[in-house]
Amino acid sequence: MTHKQGNNSEETITHFGFQNVAESEKASKVAEVFHSVAGRYDLMNDVLSGGMHRLWKRFTIELSGVRAGNKVLDIAGGTGDLTRKFSRLVGAEGQVVLADINDSMLKVGRNRLLDKGISGNVHFVQANAECLPFPDNHFDVVTIAFGLRNVTHKDTAIASMLRVLKPGGRLLVLEFSKPKNPVLSKIYDTYSFNFMPLAGKLITNDADSYRYLAESIRMHPDQETLKAMMEVAGFERVTYHNMTGGIVALHRGIKP
């Protein structure tokens, strides 16, 4: 993926993986990645995590405290793993909104859930995490799993999530993070920058997208930085749980 800088030298620059790009271009570049990999996204998740992503998501659901009658927003819900479980937990009186900025991912998620007979209490919305199209104080729980690192203005998105939560509502952010052990960190780097693009090439015929995903993980804030961002936004009792040695972290915050 290459980028040619335009003539507008005043435009704010952000990162797309390890590249510097104009902010106005980042969303479309991220969209290209997920349009490319949507059809085999679940398969790649299983291959790249050795199936561990299912355990990480299960822990997220347990910590969410979702119960019957709740309203849940699953941002960057993609192919619907979390939405499927939440749909069962909230029951007929509850509601789950699967939101994703990417139309291809949303279609895959919708088709997959419909194939499993899940429809009555689930709604699908194409939405940008930075400006969520929902009322204030609306949801009991908001989750974003492996999506925050792709957002251009993470602080804006976290503030938007706070706004749509009810007082006492919970935000859960599941995301790749920074391993605590230097040896594990080195192994993880080798794996990310060599195996991930190779697997992407073999399974989806797209090495570049998985090279970007590896780079985006490295550019994402570490555990303490993300915790501080949530606190600055207004969340209270912010905690995080490292999983698989800190390769993944689950952050949780409460709206006062």
At position 185, the amino acid (one-letter code) is: S
Q: Is 129 annotated as a binding residue?
A: yes
Q: Is 70 annotated as a binding residue?
A: no
Pairing of strands 165-176, 71-75: unpaired
- Dihedral-angle region of residue 43 (phi above 0 means left; psi in -120 to 50 means alpha; beta otherwise): alpha
Q: Is 128 annotated as a binding residue?
A: yes
Q: Is 100 annotated as a binding residue?
A: yes
147, burial (CB in 10 Å: exposed 0-12, middle 13-18, buried 19+): buried
Please state, as a whole number, how many other Cβ atoms lie within 10 Å of the Cβ of residue 4: 6
The span from the CA of 79 to the CA of 67, in Å, is 22
Sequence length of the chain is: 256
Residues within the annotated binding site for S-adenosyl-L-methionine? 79, 100, 128-129
Residues within the annotated binding site? 79, 100, 128-129
